[in-house]
Amino acid sequence: MAWYFGYASNMDLISLRAKGVEPRASKRAVLPGWRLRFNVRHFFDHEGGVANIECSNDRTDAVWGVLHLCEDEHLALLDAAEASGHGYHRIKIRVFTQRGEQEAVTYVGDPSFVQEGYRPSRRYLNILVRGATQAGIDSDYVDALRRHPVHQPPIVPVFVPPPGEYPIFTAATLMRHPTLTALAGAVFDMAGARRQHHFLRGLFGGKDMTLFHLKRLDTSDGSETLDDIKYDRLTPTQRRYLNEYLHEYSTEYAYAGRYLYD
């Protein structure tokens, strides 16, 4: 068992469960002498920047979060979700709870992904606010999160696949191709992706990622299923979000075919 300090979207239990992690216990905690930043560049530009923590050695600074008691195998799931060793690194810290000091693990941004000037998306910030509110974190801290400037993604048209003859994939055939990934009925080839995306081949390769993204919406309650996608039971917000990702996928990867939900 290990204590994990979530200071961003993983303060929220719905978000944490979407990553396969069901903590044994959760409680609020604070990390003094550190600052919350949003300077880790997301893999996809329309998401803006995601959270990071930086040591300031100023005891008036503090990062609030939620301390989760996790099974050892959950750390592997968190490592994958947080791109540990790539976008982030897992470190040990000491946080404070109502019962005193506690050792925990958490994640800090990899320098190659840290870039100033980024802002979080409203979707992402809403998840932080929800998690911090549910954990009972100080209202001034939550209000500061709520008021933080956000990234404004461009408005994009409905995604249209490129013209031409392309193959059709199903779950069974897609899994034979480790560089292919599917989203909302489209298949993309990640083989020529830029270096920063190589990590995602292991996470996305051979899989349909539609449900993965739907469960990361701030409106998600974690109940979405593949049948919702298969039978087109999506809300306008969900459609808009997937459409934004279709454009991001088509920018980063090569279109490779259609995907059928069988």
77-97 tens-digit pLDDT: 999 999 998 899 999 999 999
Give the contacts of 195 (CB within 8 A, at least 6 positions apart).
none
Beta strand segments in 71-189, E: 88-97, 100-109, 168-169, 180-183, 186-189
Specify the 3-state DSSP secondary structure of 243: helix
How are beta strands 62-70 and 25-32 bridged, if at all?
Answer: antiparallel
10 Å CB burial of residue 135 (0-12, 13-18, 19+) is buried
* pLDDT of 59 strictly over 90: no
**Residue 252: HSE in the Cβ half-sphere, 13 Å Cα cutoff:** 24
Query: Two tokens at 58?
Result: 């100023």
Give the mean pLDDT of 103-131: 96
Specify the 3-state DSSP secondary structure of 212: helix
Contact, 25 vs 63, CB < 8 A? no
| Torsion, CA 255, CA 47, CA 107, CA 26, rounded to 10 | -110
Query: Two tokens at 39?
Result: 């300077």
Contact, 37 vs 117, CB < 8 A? no
* pLDDT of 174 strictly over 90: yes
pLDDT at 35: 98
pLDDT at 262: 83
Contact, 19 vs 77, CB < 8 A? yes
**How many residues does this entry show for the chain?**
262
DSSP element (H, E) containing 50: strand 49-55
For residue 141, what pLDDT band results from cuts at 50, 70 and 90? very high
Contact, 48 vs 38, CB < 8 A? yes
pTM (whole model) above 0.75: yes
pLDDT at 19: 93
* pLDDT of 55 strictly over 90: yes
Average pLDDT over the chain reads 96
Contact, 7 vs 64, CB < 8 A? yes
**Residue 192: HSE in the Cβ half-sphere, 13 Å Cα cutoff:** 9
Tell me the percentage of the chain whose pLDDT exceeds 70: 100
Place of tokens 């081949």: 201
Q: How far apart are CA 246 and CA 209, in angstroms?
A: 11
pLDDT at 73: 93
| DSSP code of residue 204 | H
